Amino acid sequence: MLEANEGTREIMEEIQTRMARNPDRARRIGTFGFIELEDTWGDETTILNTARVSTSNRRLSDPSTLSDKDRSLLEHLLSEEHGTPFETVWFRYRFIAPIFVLRQWVKHRVSTWNEFSMRYRKPISAFYVPDTKARTIEGFEVMTQEQTDRYVSLMETVNRFYEEEYETICQKIDGLRLQGSLPPKTGGRDPYRARARELLRCAMPVSNYSDVYWTVNFRSLMNFFNLRTKETAQYEIREYALAAYDVFGHAFPLLRSIMEKIGKAPITPASS
């Protein structure tokens, strides 16, 4: 069994803390995956005020006071895809997902993206392991348990390689500093350890997890929901997209209900 490094243990503890503090907006996905809707800017009134800017001086400030006419306008804007008013509401998600999922996710470019860097930190020593559902299509087991066990063994070997080689390099750096062959560390980023991380990260597989902050406006978020929750989307990113939709729905129940009413919501949203 691969032992989690210190940074990974800290992330595991943080996930547990966030799940306890923000249960309606945080979800676990698989053995190490996680997503949380940490913050939002704007609400239904922001959308309506933006849409009415050229036709009315009426301004709303509390979503709980919306009239039937307000709700009807919101439904009309969504159903007719009047996009720009929905660009005024923003969401900030944090998610921990396999790197191969991130490579699909980052293609949704109308957003901002800040990812865990293996230049500055050691990798997260956890990797994606497909469960039986992920390995099976229409009853056919595409990847057997025996093959999965070999895959797990290989991923553990790669992760151990990083930890062992990095430790060896760091010991060498420390020894040469004691001898005076390398200059002492003067504060800030150690260039020698940094270069070791830069080189060794080349060996890390796309199954390893990474950590991302994703800030996106509602129009782009709806496009993400539309594309990544379809049954034709890859299983792993679909699990994250469904969870992202689920926590969005807890934060914005009115928008969720309208999306479901006009057929713009995922057919099978996450239930937990």
Per annotation, catalytic residue among 189, 228, 238, 256: 228
Q: Which of 91, 92, 167 is nearest to 125 (CA)?
A: 167
Tokens of 147: 């093959």
Sequence-distant (6+) residues with CB within 8 A of 178 are none
HSE of 22, CA atoms in CB hemisphere, 13 A: 20
CA distance 270 to 176: 54
Q: DSSP class of residue 265?
A: S
Q: Which of 37, 197, 219 is nearest to 110 (CA)?
A: 219
Nearest one of 185, 178, 209 to 33, comparing CA atoms: 209
Query: How far does the chain reach from its first CA to its final CA, in angstroms?
Result: 29
Structure-token pair, residue 248: 């969005």
Annotated catalytic, 228? yes
Alpha-carbon distance of 66 to 115, in angstroms, equals 38
In the numeric block, the tokens 């229409």 are attached to: 138
Q: Which residue has the tokens 């230049």?
A: 119
Q: Measured between alpha carbons, how far is 78 from 265 in angstroms, rounded to an integer?
A: 11
The dihedral sign for the CA sequence 170, 174, 177, 179: negative
* Catalytic residue set: 228
